Amino acid sequence: MKQRLARVVLSCLTACAFSTGAFAITVIDDSGAAVTLAAPAQRVISLAPHVTEMLYAAGGGAKIVGAVTYSDFPPEAKQLPRVGDNKALDLERIVALKPDLIVVWRHGNAGRQLDRLRDLHIPLYFSEPRHLDDIGVTLTKLGTLLGTSPVADAAANTYRSNIAQLRARYAARPPVSVFYQVWDQPLMTLNGTHLISEVIALCGGRNVFAKLEPLVPTVSTEAVLAANPEAIVTAAPGATAPDRPLPQLDTWRAWPSLDAVAHGNLFAIDGDLINRPAPRIAQGAALLCQDLETARSRRTGAAR
């Protein structure tokens, strides 16, 4: 009799636990909001290329039912149904795909459309990694939401190991002053709070415009000449084809007295590796570190 009563009590407690959401999955996204799911997500929509990469790396590739334009890595992501781009989302298509989780780019997707997505009462996870360490954290959180934690945790550990190796090898090397060129007309760069500036520091570089505001400030040619960087770096076309050619570093050759020009330190890195806040940024960082090491080797009197 007592055993039967115990089973009844246990059954009631279990039912109550489920009804109150005690076993729900909750993580905090990059906006600081709690994202709660009743069960691991099974139908996920990605609203940014870096998010698509993250979801695949976290073991959730088979659960992605839609993605935005330029979601092109890994290669199988090219076959995903498209739901718009960072300028315009196809809300009808998103609803028709019946997602149970949408992962959005907080500052890349249109605010008005995000408000409409909120009205659909579909759980939204905002992704905006601002630091290198955030990428590993994001992988872990997505693994929790997807129910793929073993894969996600392994990917996060591999990523952290790659970054740690680069930091140990390059962060204490003699500093190299760097101008990172985002665009040429107008001439644009990144300040010290941008993720790429952290990559520069990881490699022992110093962003010459780190103290400027806003995040992506416009600068003049005269300001670059005055800063006289030892290296100039930009993003080259990767798998993502731009609307027009990316900035041409050759234009700086008009100022042969500029240190970066005088020593041949004009470098371009695959934009998909350096611009996207996803695990492959470790590859982009490795390339940048090699370029800055090349700049060091070209200094007068440097050991060959």
Residue type, 229: P
Give tens-digit pLDDT for 251-289: 999 999 999 999 999 999 999 999 999 999 999 999 999
Question: Does residue 290 have a pLDDT over 90?
Answer: yes
Q: Would you say residue 8 lies in a domain?
A: no
Closest CA to 138 of 51, 45, 198: 51
234 and 210 fall within a common domain: yes
Q: What CA–CA distance (Å, rounded) separates 188 from 133?
A: 26
Which among 159, 181, 216 is the end of a domain? 159
- Global pTM reads 0.87
303 assigned to some structural domain: no
pLDDT tens-digit map of 172-198 = 999 999 999 999 889 999 999 999 999
Same domain (yes/no): 178, 148: no
Q: Is residue 215 part of a domain?
A: yes
- The answer to whether position 271 is within a domain reads yes
**Residue 263 and residue 144 in one domain:** no
Question: What is the share, in percent, of the chain residues with pLDDT greater than 70?
Answer: 86
Mean of the per-residue pLDDT values of the chain: 89
Give the whole-angstrom CA distance, residue 275 versus residue 5.
61
Whole-number pLDDT of residue 240: 52
Specify whether 214 is located in the same domain as 273.
yes
Question: How far out from the chain centre does Cα 38 lie?
Answer: 27
Range of the domain at 134: 21-159
Look at residues 107, 130, 159 and tell me which one is the last residue of a structural domain.
159
CATH code at 104? 3.40.50.1980
- Please identify, among 159, 187, 205, the residue that sits at the C-terminal boundary of a domain: 159
Q: Are 210 and 189 in contact (CB under 8 A)?
A: no
Specify the higher pLDDT residue, 70 or 3. 70
- pLDDT at residue 109 in the model: 66
pLDDT (tens digit, 9 = 90+) per residue, 135-150?
A: 999 999 999 999 999 9
Domain count, the chain: 2
* Percent of the chain with pLDDT strictly greater than 90: 77
Residues 216 and 148 in one domain: no
Contact 127, 30 (CB under 8 A): yes
Q: How far apart are CA 64 and CA 98, in angstroms?
A: 11
Whether residue 49 is contained in a domain is answered as yes
Same domain, 225 and 284: yes
pLDDT score of 108 = 63
For residues 177 and 154, state if they share a domain. no
Query: Above 70 in pLDDT, residue 27?
Result: yes
Beta strand pairing call for 25-28 and 34-37: antiparallel
- Determine contact, residues 44/65, Cβ cutoff 8 Å: yes
Does residue 165 form part of some domain?
no
Say whether both 123 and 194 belong to one domain. no
Residues 181 and 144 in one domain: no
Q: In sequence order, which ranges of the chain are alpha helices (DSSP H)?
A: 2-19, 49-57, 91-96, 111-119, 132-146, 149-170, 195-202, 221-227, 259-262, 271-274, 281-297
Give dist(CA 300, CA 89) in Å, integer.
53
The reply to whether 128 and 189 lie within a common domain is no
pLDDT at 23: 72
pLDDT at 157 over 70: yes
Pair (177, 155) in one structural domain? no
123 — pLDDT class (breaks 50, 70, 90): very high
Residues 186 and 277 in one domain: yes
Residue 153's pLDDT is what? Answer: 98
Interatomic CA distance for residues 264 and 249, integer angstroms: 11
- Determine the pLDDT at residue 117: 86
Res. 120: pLDDT tops 50: yes
* 5 occurs within a structural domain: no
Residue 143, domain member (yes or no): yes
Here the tokens at position 289 are 């570190």
The per-residue pLDDT for 238 is: 64
